[in-house]
A and B are shown apart, each in its own frame.
Chain A
Amino acid sequence: MRKKLMGVLWGLVPILLALLFTMVVLVIVGASPLEAYRNILLGAFESPEKMADVVAACVPLILCGVGMCVTFTAGQWNVGVEGQIILGAIFATWVARNLLWPQVPVLTLMVLAGILGGALWGAVAGLLKVYGKVHEIFGGLGLNYLAQGLAIWLIFNPWKPADGATMSGTDPFPGPAWMPHFRHLRVAPLAVVLTLVAVVIAYFLLQGTRWGLELKAMGKNFRSAFTLGVPSTSRLLIAFSTCGGLAGLAGAIRCSARYGRMIPDIAGGQGYLGLLVALLAGYRPQWVPLIALFFAAVGVGSPRLELNMQLDSSLGGVLRTSVVLAVMLVNGWRMLRARQVRRAVEEAA
């Protein structure tokens, strides 16, 4: 009991440190920290509309975060998630523009196309890693630039709106390709359900299957896992495409439920935020939704800082990232202390 309580208390330390750090940053610009925190909280939770926005903002974060739990478990830094979201959105947009069917088949196909597009792009990242022998961080970044270029080219050429191409994207999708919202709220129940299903599946894949165990072995020690007979190459490719598929689903959801069209910035940094979520969750899918909720709330609440306090909304980003950094530092510090205590005990004995 006491141990559990201590665990919870230690869990709070990084959050306090991050709040303290953000406070210092606010004091530097001469703003009231409490007022800023109050604005973020209100901005996220003051009305049902805002809360619905928070839930909607959770969706891509959870999908990408869960996906990266899979690749991180295999010991891979899948930085290409941003591009995988874009490819998912591109595939889904193709369906929305070309298949003028009723809602149910169109949305089903858009979701499947999104998963396919993301999975393919994820597989390319995996292939580059396995056969290109370059750190996946650079392969992923290169693919992100390429996906971004492809999206812009599509929007400016074949998918150009009749009144001229701009950075604000394509024409709105035909009605059936919009994922229906819950009443007047900007959240699509279908997206939420798909996301929760993804969390459950990822949890069981990683915890309860041989595949998950093999991924873990690869993540801990790639060479030993290979020597012991884990078919590493195919496992790695599947891990990359699983993550890509989830990110692609996020892309399909963003263009169908949020924007109702394809825009150049369809990924909007969700891939990088998802990476932070996965890091903070310690690569365990069951923790992803809670952390994503925190990230989403800060993200939805921060723009209010601009309206009410004339502060840049990137303060929310400072808060989110400093929590992740504080967790790493506090964990490292606790491990260091434990080592020192152990050594002192050994020396005394």
Chain B
Amino acid sequence: METNFLIQTLASIVAASTPVVLASIGETISEKSGVINLSLDGSIALSAMTGFAVAFTTGSVTLGMLAAMAVGALVALIIAFASITLRQEQVAVGFVLTMLCIELADFLGNPFVRRPGPSVSHAPIPYLSDIPILGPVLFNHNLIVYLSILSVVLAWWWTHKTQPGLKLQGVGERPESAFARGVNVHRLRFVYTVIGGALVGLAGASYSLSIKLGWSHRHTSGIGWIALAIVIFGGWSPWRVAVGCYLFGLLKALGSILQRNSAFVNVPTQIFSSAPFALMIFALLLLNSEGVDRLLALLPPRVARQLDRAIRGRSPGGLGQSFIQE
């Protein structure tokens, strides 16, 4: 009974974390190449709405997912064009796009509010889902959930184990040296920003077609900012980003368990739904504060260095800066 409950909770955390995982991994890829896509919160909203609207009108969930990815990729393309080609400030363009996408999603999504529609069908993976514990937690979901897990593995493999992945790191870390070695920095940044954007779009689709079915006002609100914070929290490393995502999922699950507890009946639900967001962002602040520096200084230097590397990542050297390639 107890273990059953635990397995069920873990499985629901894996499923519920899908959008955060997809969006954070997409953002990690884009930031690794040096481009901050700050529009996440808006991109997710607009792609969630588009994904649902397309699936609703065509009856095809696959088309919905593809449309959502196209929207995410398009927004990312605008950011890449504005910041790389037109040399506008990345953060400014991203922020404006966040708001534009949210307004667009509200306006265009109006006819689809609270309409029942299609969803991604449940598809346990044969054999794998029979493995005790691991099976029900990881392999008893639907396609989008599997894609989110796959995105972590693929992003890690690509960035750390392949030749083009090393180029990607080089473009983000030291664009000058990459360019001197004959890498087309601008083109790679375009490509990876758009790929990352497509993943963000899929994150939107995972909302409206898998975990919070349908579309309504403020359907996805706040999740994009969390994803952006988790990328920093995870130090731009796919594995640690994924850990951050599932930790956030755990926090949310704990919140809803506490909320059902009779001791907290008087606390308004808004507190429970917004507390994980605030906690997550303050965890980030704490981790980077000087207090941690002082604590680390108390430890022997070797241990301190390793611990520092384990809990805090370093941002790519060229992140957010425009590189003039001439």
Answer whether A329 and B86 are a contact pair too, CB < 8 Å, given A133-B288, A276-B96, A311-B110: yes
Complex Cα–Cα for A335 and B89 (A):
13
Number of interface residues of A (CB under 8 A): 47
Within the complex, the shortest CB–CB distance from B277 to chain A, in Å, comes to 5
Complex Cα–Cα for A131 and B225 (A):
22
Q: Which of B95, B228, B275 contacts A149 (CB 8 A)?
A: B275
Answer whether A333 and B281 are a contact pair too, CB < 8 Å, given A29-B108, A314-B106, A328-B93: no
- The residues of B that contact A276 with a CB separation of less than 8 Å are 96, 99
Within the complex, the shortest CB–CB distance from A78 to chain B, in Å, comes to 12
Complex Cα–Cα for A156 and B285 (A):
29
Complex Cα–Cα for A320 and B106 (A):
14
Q: Which of A311, A312, A332 contacts B88 (CB 8 A)?
A: A332
A312 touches B106 (CB 8 A): yes
In the complex, per-residue mask of A297-328: 1 if CB is within 8 Å of any chain B CB, else 0: 00000000000000110110110111011001
Within the complex, the shortest CB–CB distance from A317 to chain B, in Å, comes to 3
B284 in the interface, Cβ–Cβ < 8 Å?
A: yes
Within the complex, the shortest CB–CB distance from A156 to chain B, in Å, comes to 5
B87 in the interface, Cβ–Cβ < 8 Å?
A: yes
Answer whether A317 and B86 are a contact pair too, CB < 8 Å, given A77-B91, A137-B91, A152-B271: no
- A112-120, A138-146, A170-178: which lies at the B interface? A138-146
Closest to B290 in A: A131
A138 touches B281 (CB 8 A): yes
A108 in the interface, Cβ–Cβ < 8 Å?
A: no
In the complex, per-residue mask of B102-114: 1 if CB is within 8 Å of any chain A CB, else 0: 1110111011000
Complex Cα–Cα for A318 and B101 (A):
8
B107 touches A314 (CB 8 A): yes
Number of interface residues of B (CB under 8 A): 42
Complex Cα–Cα for A135 and B320 (A):
12
- The residues of A that contact B285 with a CB separation of less than 8 Å are 128, 132, 134, 138-139, 142
B100 in the interface, Cβ–Cβ < 8 Å?
A: yes
A272 in the interface, Cβ–Cβ < 8 Å?
A: yes
Interface centre among B96, B102, B267 (most CB of A within 10 A): B96
Within the complex, the shortest CB–CB distance from B101 to chain A, in Å, comes to 9
A272 touches B99 (CB 8 A): yes
B87 touches A332 (CB 8 A): yes
- The residues of A that contact B126 with a CB separation of less than 8 Å are none
Within the complex, the shortest CB–CB distance from B318 to chain A, in Å, comes to 16
Answer whether A335 and B97 are a contact pair too, CB < 8 Å, given A77-B91, A145-B277: no
A153 in the interface, Cβ–Cβ < 8 Å?
A: yes
B100 touches A311 (CB 8 A): no
- The residues of A that contact B92 with a CB separation of less than 8 Å are 279, 328
B162 in the interface, Cβ–Cβ < 8 Å?
A: no
| Residues of chain A from 91 to 135 with CB closer than 8 A to chain B in the complex | 128, 131-135
A152 touches B107 (CB 8 A): no
B82 touches A332 (CB 8 A): yes
B282 in the interface, Cβ–Cβ < 8 Å?
A: yes
- The residues of B that contact A137 with a CB separation of less than 8 Å are 38, 91
Closest to A280 in B: B96
- The residues of B that contact A145 with a CB separation of less than 8 Å are 274, 277-278, 281
B85 in the interface, Cβ–Cβ < 8 Å?
A: yes
Answer whether A332 and B86 are a contact pair too, CB < 8 Å, given A25-B104, A149-B274: yes
B182 in the interface, Cβ–Cβ < 8 Å?
A: no
- The residues of A that contact B99 with a CB separation of less than 8 Å are 272, 276, 317, 321
Closest to A275 in B: B95
In the complex, per-residue mask of A193-225: 1 if CB is within 8 Å of any chain B CB, else 0: 000000000000000000000000000000000
Within the complex, the shortest CB–CB distance from A278 to chain B, in Å, comes to 11
In the complex, per-residue mask of B64-108: 1 if CB is within 8 Å of any chain A CB, else 0: 000000000000000000100111100111011101101110111
A-B pairs, top 4 by smallest CB distance, nearest first, are A332-B86, A317-B103, A142-B281, A314-B106
Where the two chains meet, the residues of A that have a C-beta atom closer than 8 Å to any C-beta of B are: 25, 28-29, 77, 128, 131-135, 137-139, 141-142, 145-146, 148-149, 152-153, 156-157, 165, 264, 272, 275-276, 279, 311-312, 314-315, 317-318, 320-322, 324-325, 328-329, 331-333, 335-336
> Could you write out 11 A-B pairs with CB less than 8 Å apart?
A25-B104, A138-B225, A145-B278, A146-B278, A153-B271, A165-B268, A276-B96, A276-B99, A279-B96, A312-B110, A335-B86
Where the two chains meet, the residues of B that have a C-beta atom closer than 8 Å to any C-beta of A are: 38, 82, 85-88, 91-93, 95-97, 99-100, 102-104, 106-108, 110-111, 225, 228-229, 232, 266-268, 270-271, 274-275, 277-278, 281-282, 284-285, 288-290
